[in-house]
Amino acid sequence: MEQSISNIYKEEKPRLFNYIKSKISDFQEAEDILSEVFIQAIVNFNTLESIDNLLGWLYTVAKNKIVDSYRKKNRKIHFSEIDNQENLYQLLSIPGKDIIGKLRQQELIEIIIEEIEKLPPEQMEVLIEHELNGKSFREISRKTEVPLNTLISRKQYALKTLRQKLKKLSWRNYV
């Protein structure tokens, strides 16, 4: 079996890497996942003897590692990592306000940021990517492998939640 893993590694490494790379845009992360796949094969060496299709097993492990990677990313998204924070400021800009108005506006922005960070990770991700980073639902769907309608629903739930929370805070008093 050891020879079999070694041969499969040599023969399938490029194809398996391309498969992973097609799902993960970051080159280093794709390499890390590839390494994790073969490490798991070595760790589970004794179990692999009973597997008829080792190549299929490797691709399944790769797919699972990719899904794990997406889940980790979703948990780690923070508002401070938004590509273009200025979009939020532009959306909320109030021309002609005095210094008190500007301070209230800044306070409102901080409240909105706090509330966005409290959203479930999958809702926060689609809201940030679509509204603030300007990505289309189709782009987000390709990146995350989440169906288009699911992304649209997540954004709607996120906006509904934000509206409810801001309404409770009487946010209209800020502008």
* pLDDT tens string 109-129: 777 778 888 888 888 888 888
Domain-terminating residue out of 19, 43, 76 = 76
Domain holding 114: CATH number?
A: 1.10.10.10
* Residue 95, in any domain of the structure: yes
* Residue 138, in any domain of the structure: yes
Residues 105 and 42 in one domain: no
Compute CA distances 53 → 9, 36, 65, whole Å.
Answer: 14, 19, 19
Provide the residue count of the chain: 175
Supply the range of the domain harboring residue 8. Answer: 2-76
| pLDDT band per the 50, 70, 90 thresholds, residue 174 | very low
Which structure tokens are listed for 170? Answer: 């009487």
d(CA 67, CA 64): 5
Residues 50 and 117 in one domain: no
For residue 84, is pLDDT > 80?
no
Per-residue pLDDT tens over the stretch 124-156: 888 888 887 788 999 999 888 889 999 999 999
* Residue 83, in any domain of the structure: no
Supply the pLDDT for residue 154: 92
- Judged by DSSP in three states, 33 sits in helix
Q: What would the mean pLDDT of 163-173 be, rounded to a whole number?
A: 70
* Residue 164, in any domain of the structure: yes
Residues 42 and 103 in one domain: no
For residue 54, is pLDDT > 80?
no
Reported pTM: 0.44
* Residue 31, in any domain of the structure: yes
d(CA 146, CA 71): 12
Residues 71 and 102 in one domain: no
Maximum mean pLDDT: which of 49-58, 104-113, 116-125, 152-161: 152-161
Domains: count for the chain: 2
Residues 27 and 103 in one domain: no
Domain-terminating residue out of 15, 43, 76 = 76
